[in-house]
Structure 1
Amino acid sequence: MQDVRLTIKKRAFPSHGRVRLNAAILPDLGVAEGEHVDLINEAAKKSVSVTVIADSMVPAGQIRVSEEDLKKIGLSEGSEVLVRKSVALKEKLSKAAAEANASLEKEAKKIDAAAKKTAGDVSAGAASAAKTIKKETDKATKSIGKAVSKTTKDVKKAVKKATGKENDL
C-alpha cells in the first residue's frame, strides 16, 4: 500500500463523494472498489475522503473527481493530487486518543514537577522563617531577661531605700 499521485480530470456527471480511477491502481493503493481514499492537496493541507469506483475507461494516471470535491480541496482539473487509502474511523479515533493521552501525560509530568518545586520552595521558605523566628525569639528572651534582672535590682534598691539598709531581701 502506497500513496499515488494522479492527474485530476473533472467528472462529466456530478457525483459528490465518489471518484473514478483505473482498476489497475487499486492494488497500489491497497483498496477495493467501494472503499474510501483520501484526496490530499498537500500545499493547502486540505483533504477529502471519497469512495472509489473502478473504471477501465479512465487512463491509469488520471482520477475523475467531481467539481464539489475539487472545490473542497482547492484543486482544479489538470492538477496533481495525492491519493491515499483512508484510515478507518476506529483507527483515527484510536490514534487521536493515544495522542491525547500522551499529551496529557506530558502535561501532568510538567505540573507534577512544578508542584514538587513549589513544595520544595515552600519548605525551604518555612525552614528559613522558623530559623529567623527562633533567632528573634532568643534575642527577645535575652532582652526580657536583662530587663527583668534590671527591674529586680531596681525594685530591691527601692525596697532597701524605703525600709532601711538593715532589711535585706
Structure 2
Amino acid sequence: MASFSATLSHHPFSPFPHSFRKISLPNTPSIIPPPNAADPDKDKIVQTANEEPPKPVSATPTKPKKPVYSMKKGQIVRVDKEKYLNSVNYLSVGHPPYYKGLDYIYEDRGEVLDMRMFETGEHALIAWVGIPTAPAWLPTDMLIKSDKLDYERI
C-alpha cells in the first residue's frame, strides 16, 4: 500500500509550527497516481499530419441574432374580426358566438406594447387605448396596422 502524504504550509495565524513538515499516514491508499504512471488515453491523442489542430474555443459566446418583427412597439393596430373569430384565441376564452363584449378590439385602436417570437409564431402584446382591460398577446397575422395615430372608429 502506498502512503498518503500531506504538506502543511506556513501561515501567520496557523496553529502549526512555522517549519514545513511532511506527515505520512500509514495504510492510506494513494489518490493521486505517481507522475511516472502510464496514461492509458495517451495513445488515443495521436495527431496525423493531414488533420488540422483543434480550434480554440472563444471565451466570449456569440449573441443570438435579434429577430426581425413585422411591427414596431408603439404601432397602432386593430384586430381583424373574421380572423379572430375563427382563431384558437377566440375559442380559448369561451365566449358565445359573436359575443358583443369584444367589439372594442375590432373598432378601437390598440397599441403594440411588446413583440415576441413564440413557438406558434410572432405575437404582439396589445393594449387598447382608453379601454380599462388587460393587454393581450395576439398573433400578428390577425392585426391590421393603422398608418396614422389619429385613428377613427368604424
The normalised TM-score by structure 2 is 0.25
Q: Which TM-score applies when normalising by structure 1? A: 0.23
